[in-house]
Amino acid sequence: MKTTQDFDRISIGVFPTPVQKLESISRLLGTQVYVKRDDLTGLGLGGNKVRKLEYLLADAKAQGAEVVFTTGGAQSNHAMLTAAAARKLGMTPILILKKRGVTARQGNQLLEHLMGVDVRFMDTDDYADIYAEMDRVGKALGRPYYKIPCGGSNALGTLGYVDCAREIRDQGLHFDHLICAEGSGGTMAGLALGAKLYLPGTRVTGMMVDSDPFEEITVRLMREAAALLDADVQVSAEDFDLRDLCGPGYAIPSQEGNAAVAMMAENEGLFLDPVYTGKAFAGLIAMAREGAFKPTDRVLFLHSGGAGGLFAVGV
């Protein structure tokens, strides 16, 4: 088997990210709650996409790409961080975004404006149209280009979160539960595979914030990442739990999500976002209230970032 360290990786972020105990929240929820601060990954406003981009952009560079395309919704944190990373590495970012969400110059749109990024909107619900448009634009430019899928969620991007599980193990900490938001799947798949490899006894739960077939997506990404690593593991949907926190829809705030954002801000001075981490933390609160955790259980919540979305979408 290979390890994540056998793959090319460009240093864009600051790792390892800290793990902190949330004392007040632990008292309120009756279990031991910790947070993995991937909102502090050190590029832009931080967030989970930086781990994936360290692998994806290393691959782009190795292939000689000068232009980097990616996609997502109008307030995609992933698109903003891809643009920031591309700028830092001297590559040209082009974002072809779905015309979905807040397109005004707020939140991530404001940051993309500040970086002078070429942002285009496409009125489609099908990413296949967008990937075809990337090829059309890329060929017309006549410069070598690299396409990063929505959320950076392919096998190579998923390695970023396999490596995060390795990082948690190397921080010398054991957790009974590891909880994250699931939007395009790479983060959850990486953590679930990484837990299988490096964190025995840790159960991973993904809080779904969109309405895609996540069980299938997660298993597929876990298998593809395991194949990249030549890992001798049997992957199945038994390896993880999922919970639906989408509420009124992707990128539309939910009542429980907003309550979770408020609870974290009021008790810990820590800011979640309405699209991903607020909904995910609402799932953790619901599990605690249902008695899913013992008082002595150690529960690690992945703070995957999302500040840009908070300022655009609000609560």
Among 251, 304, 310, 312, binds ligand PLP (CB under 6 A): 304
Which residues inside 17-36 make contact with ligand PLP, applying CB under 6 A?
Answer: none
Rounded distance between C-alpha atoms, residue 271 and residue 261, angstroms: 7
Instruction: Give the other-Cβ count within 10 Å of 302's Cβ.
Output: 28
> Mask: binding to ligand PLP, 126-155, rule CB under 6 A, as x and -?
-------------------------x-x--
Q: How far apart are CA 205 and CA 301, in angstroms?
A: 10
Binding letters toward ligand PLP, positions 72-111, x by CB under 6 A: -----xx---------------------------------
List the one residue out of 92, 186, 83, 220 whose CA is nearest residue 144.
92
Residue number with CB closer to ligand PLP (138 or 287): 287
Rank residues 93 and 138 by Cβ distance to ligand PLP and give the closer one: 93
Three-state DSSP class for residue 12: coil
Tell me how far the alpha carbon of residue 86 is from its chain's centroid. Answer: 18
276 scored as a contact of ligand PLP (CB under 6 A): yes
How far is it, in rounded angstroms, from Cα 271 to Cα 306? 9
- Considering only the stretches 29-37, 125-133, 179-187, 228-236, report the one whose residues sit in contact with ligand PLP under the rule CB under 6 A: 179-187
Binding flag, residue 159, ligand PLP (CB under 6 A): no
Strands (E), the chain: 19-21, 32-37, 67-70, 92-98, 118-122, 145-147, 177-182, 203-208, 240-244, 298-303
Residue type, 76: S
Question: CB 48 → ligand PLP: shortest distance, Å?
Answer: 5
Catalytic residues: 76
CB of 31 to ligand PLP, least distance (A): 22
Q: Establish if 51 lies at the interface with ligand PLP (CB under 6 A).
A: no
Among the residue ranges 122-130, 166-174, 181-189, 250-258, the one whose residues contact ligand PLP (CB under 6 A): 181-189
Token readout for 53 is 């981009």
Nearer CB in complex with ligand PLP: 82/304 = 304
Sign (positive or negative) of CA dihedral 88, 306, 21, 177: negative
Residues that bind ligand PLP (CB under 6 A): 47-48, 77-78, 151, 153, 181-188, 273, 276-277, 304-306
